[in-house]
Structure 1
Amino acid sequence: MAEVGTHPQPSGGTRGPSLFDGAPVASFLLDGQGRILEVNRRGGALLGFDREALLGQPLGRFVAPASRPPLDALLKRVLDAPAVQSDEIEVPGAEGTPRALLLDAVAHGESGCYLVATDVTPYREAQRALQSGHADLSGQLRERTARARALNEELEHVVTSFIRQLQEPTSRAMNVLGLLRRALGEPPEGVTRPLLHIERALQQIVALYESVDRYMQARGLQARIRPVDLNAVLREVLKDVRLLLADRNVQITHDPLPVVQGDSQALFLILNEYISNALKFTRTREEARLHILVEETDSAFHIGVRDNGVGFDPRGQGRLFRLFERQHPSSRYEGSGLGLAVVRRTCERFGGRVWGEGQPDQGATFWFAWPKRPVVLE
């Protein structure tokens, strides 16, 4: 409560000191029944009455009906406790618009109190405007979020439908190409070479839409955090890549694999891509060697797949995990450039990260850091 200078004494109709009357805030002196014993000029102006019309009247007469109980409770608290008591009420304003007042009251004498009233109407109006603006912005945000979600679902539907519709004509073209090869028998080189180009182009199309399909599946993965044994995940991955192991001398070893908190589908996708990638780039080796490494830190498990393949130029490793980026020519190594990007997206969704290490013709190691306490980021 603001100080009011010299304290006037209740004296019926006698006027208080000029310092009280000239106080920069609306000030009142009330008796034990809440009647106005003294009021300064700002107080009268705030209530819209002359001083003479206010003296001797209960202050509750000039406040909004709904504010009378809070005012009575405030005056009672003042008499029960010596500390400043505060509450907010409303008084009728011009043209029936209520005005919000913050009251600060302190006991005076044996049964009276001093009361200071501050008009907080502009602050309340500003608060309501902010709340209204916040509600409008929240509504707009919800609408835009819903629209973005709808557009995203529409895009996923378009891409998925495109993949499904592309599979049928591609399969027919592959079948026709096979029939044509059998019908031609041993065609001359001038015919064989164009057929080979067509076959490779079709294989690239198939690899591309299969990669896009895996990417869309990774986007729509419904992740669940639970204990996952990486030994079991590795066994499933080796079953899935068994065709890539056929007629090859491949040695796959691993460090002791931990049980981690995570999603088995996501971890399968990551290990499957890393191992498939290693098998692809060790194809020129007489003996391919893959080893799965495990390093543990306080907050994560670092899992790496090391190979003795063709490696890569470390100066371009920043492109390895980008969409459709690749370091090796597609004419020598099949693939769409999507696989490692899917790994990065999947790993980052759980709060992890990915990176690669390698040198040309000296093999490569692709790592992912899996948090011990992963959190699914949507």
Structure 2
Amino acid sequence: MKRQISNAFAPPASQTSLLRGKRLPNNYFIDMDDLTNGIREEPIKMLRQYRAVSEVANIDLSVVEDMIEGLQVLDFDWTYLYVNNAVVRQIKKTREELLGHTLIEIFPDVENTNVFSALKKCMEERTFLHFENEFTYSDGTVSWFELSIQPAPQGILILSVDITDRKKAEAEIKKLNEELELKVEERTALLTELNKELESFSYSVSHDLRAPLRVINGYLTILEGNQDARLDESIKTFLKRIRNNVEKMDALIHALLAFAKLGRKEVRKIKVNMKMLAENIAQDFKAMNPHKAEILIGNLDEASADAMLIKQVFINLLSNAIKYSTYSEAPRVEIDSYKKDGTIVYSFRDNGVGFDMTYADKLFGIFQRMHPEGQFEGTGVGLAIVQRIINKHGGKVWAEGKPGEGAVFYFSLPE
């Protein structure tokens, strides 16, 4: 049965709001004692119950009627005592359908919902609750509301904010993120598979190419060693060129094999004394490849790395520095390290021919050469191997240089 409702809950029609249709300022709070028992008092006296009253002292209570947030009051029997315009819009019911009727009459299945359990807890225990709730209308449409429930002398007060648009945006963002993550996973899996196929192909091709080279080399040895063969000087010159190119091809295939094997090699990190490693490699270079370069090794920081792989990095960078310093009057290579942003950075500085920074991005590509092949020997794979090893360690490689003024090659490792 519909109950008789006092006009105490309706703001005076003669009063006009200075903030009609606008939100109450942040942190305002309504004292329900005053709202439900004293609403007939003078508006200014009532508004003093709001926080930050200095900002709204000239606003009458009709602002509650037209504020964006829904405001409703239920008594201890779950009867609607008051609803503002926002609640009418949110619930999609008229005032006549709500006031004087119980919540259970309006929503017959509400007692079986989580939101009713929350309302009941607040009603019985006189506690404050704040949560988000999904509401399904009779036509099947869904809206989301942010609810703030607090005890009132007559029962409970509910403030509701429609957050449907925000929830839709969050759901869309979540969906896009999930789709993006799925695409990243798919692309990663595809790239991993392609890399495996490429490594397998490179290994197979490189291995198979060495067989015919050995045959060619064998025939060259027979021809050159045959004393009965009458070979004029031009033929001997051609044979020598063939052998030189066979040796270059063999070196290139060997480098390609080494590059392909890196993809299969597992990184086994240990504590590496980088200074000792650099000193041993420098001594080996002196013994096996006599050169006139002065090698200066600083107090290098220790690192956690795969000893064999990082040794290859040092060999490649040191040989690279020595090679490109060959034509300097006093070749010099400086190896040093420093710490930066949680990483250890190692540098190999030379005073050689340097390079144009315009082409710096090509330095670490496989088979990339910055200088004519006849000027400096090499396969064009050494720096590509360096980059792959450092990448497997979770580090980075880069270089700086200037034509005629030398170069500095850097690599970083996690500290």
**Category of TM-score, reference length = shorter chain:** 0.7 to 0.9
For residues 335 and 73 of structure 2, the distance between their equivalents in structure 1, rounded to whole angstroms, comes to 79
**What do residues 180-238 of structure 1 show as CA deviations (whole Å, max 9, x unaligned)?**
21125672112112112211221221122222223334455544554212355347646
2:298 paired with 1:270: no
Deviations, residues 145-169 of structure 1 (Å, cap 9, x unaligned): 2112211221221112111111111
- Structure 2 vs 1, CA of residues 236 and 166 (structure 1 numbering), >3 Å: closer, same or farther? farther
The alpha-carbon distance between structure 1 residues 236 and 179, as it changes in their structure 2 partners (threshold 3 A), is farther
Structure 1 residue corresponding to 2:210, chosen from 159, 167, 178: 167
Alpha-carbon distance between aligned partners in 2 of 1:321 and 1:181, rounded to the nearest angstrom: 39
Tell me, in whole angstroms, the C-alpha distance in 2 between the residues paired with 1:207 and 1:37: 92
Contact 2:278/2:314 (<8 A) preserved: yes
Distance change in 2, residues 1:46/1:252 (3 Å): closer
Q: Which runs of 5+ in 1 are unaligned?
A: 12-16
For the residue of structure 2 that corresponds to 1:95, the secondary structure is: coil
Q: Is the 8 A contact 1:292 1:303 kept in 2?
A: no
Unmatched tracts of structure 2, length 5 or more: 1-22, 40-60
Q: 1:220 to 1:292 in 2, by over 3 A?
A: farther
Aligned: 1:206 with 2:250 = yes
What residue in structure 1 maps to residue 300 of structure 2? 258
Check whether the contact 2:72–2:157 (CA below 8 A) recurs between aligned residues.
yes
Secondary structure of residue in 2 paired with 1:118: strand
Work out the CA distance in 1 between the residues paired with 2:291 and 2:30: 96
Q: Is the 8 A contact 1:10 1:37 kept in 2?
A: no
Q: Tell whether the 8 Å contact from 1:344 to 1:354 is kept in structure 2 after alignment.
A: no
In the alignment, what sits opposite 2:190?
147
1:227 aligned counterpart, secondary structure: strand
TM-score w.r.t. length of structure 1: 0.73
Worse overlay, 140-149 or 117-126: 117-126
Q: 2:386 aligns with which of 338, 343, 357?
A: 343
Distance, in Å, in 2 between the alignment partners of 1:316 and 1:43 is 67
Taking the aligned partners of 1:253 and 1:130, their CA distance within structure 2 comes to: 56
Q: Which amino acid aligns with 1:200?
A: N
The superposition leaves residues 308-357 of structure 1 with CA deviations (integer Å, 9 ceiling, x where unpaired) of xxx42655895683433435543464322222343355456523544457
In the alignment, what sits opposite 2:120?
A: 72
With 35-44 and 250-259 compared, the bigger mean Cα shift is at: 250-259
Give the corresponding residue for 2:241: 197
Q: Percent identity?
A: 18
* 123-132 or 160-169, which deviates more: 123-132
Equivalence for 2:58: none
Greater alpha carbon shift after TM alignment, 61-70 vs 319-328? 319-328
Distance 1:76 1:59 in 2: 16
> 2:277 aligned with 1:233, yes or no?
yes
CA distance 1:35–1:318, shift in 2 (3 Å): same
Whether the 8 Å contact between 1:354 and 1:368 is mirrored in structure 2 is yes
Among 348, 351, 358, the residue aligned to 1:304 = 348
- 1:1-378 alignment runs, 5 A limit: 7-9=35-37, 25-40=69-84, 42-59=86-103, 62=107, 64=110, 65-66=112-113, 67-75=115-123, 79-80=126-127, 85-108=129-152, 110-183=153-226, 187-219=231-263, 222-234=266-278, 237=281, 244-245=288-289, 254-255=296-297, 258-263=300-305, 264-277=307-320, 293-299=334-340, 300=344, 302-304=346-348, 311-312=352-353, 314-315=355-356, 318=359, 321-323=363-365, 324-331=367-374, 333-344=376-387, 346-347=389-390, 350-355=395-400, 359=404, 367-371=408-412, 374-375=413-414
In structure 2, the partner of 1:14 is none
- Tell me which amino acid in the other structure corresponds to 1:39: V
Answer whether contact 2:356 2:401 (CA < 8 A) is retained.
no
Q: Distance in 1 between matches of 2:172 and 2:330?
A: 68
Which amino acid counterpart does residue 272 of structure 2 have in structure 1?
A: V
Task: Name the CA shift for 1:222/1:365 in 2 (closer, same or farther; >3 Å).
Answer: farther
Indicate the SS of the match to 1:94. coil
- AA aligned opposite 1:72: K
Measured after TM superposition, the shift of residue 93 of structure 1 is: 0.5
Alignment length (residue pairs) = 353
Q: When the two structures are superposed, what TM-score results if normalisation uses the length of structure 2? A: 0.67
Contact 2:73 2:157 (C-alpha < 8 Å) held by counterparts: yes
Alpha-carbon distance between aligned partners in 1 of 2:410 and 2:96, rounded to the nearest angstrom: 81
Distance in 1 (alpha carbons) for counterparts of 2:402 and 2:77: 85
Distance 2:186 2:266 in 1: 24
Distance in 2 separating the partners of 1:97 and 1:282: 76
How far apart, in 2, do the equivalents of 1:115 and 1:186 lie?
110
**Amino acid across the alignment from 1:125:** K
Q: Deviations 1:20-76 (Å, cap 9, x if unpaired)?
A: 666555432222454322234553454344434433444356274322112323445
Q: Structure 1 residues 141, 353: closer, same or farther in 2, change over 3 A?
A: closer
- Preserved CA contact (<8 Å) 2:390 2:397: yes
- Taking only aligned residues, the RMSD between alpha carbons, in angstroms, comes to 4.2
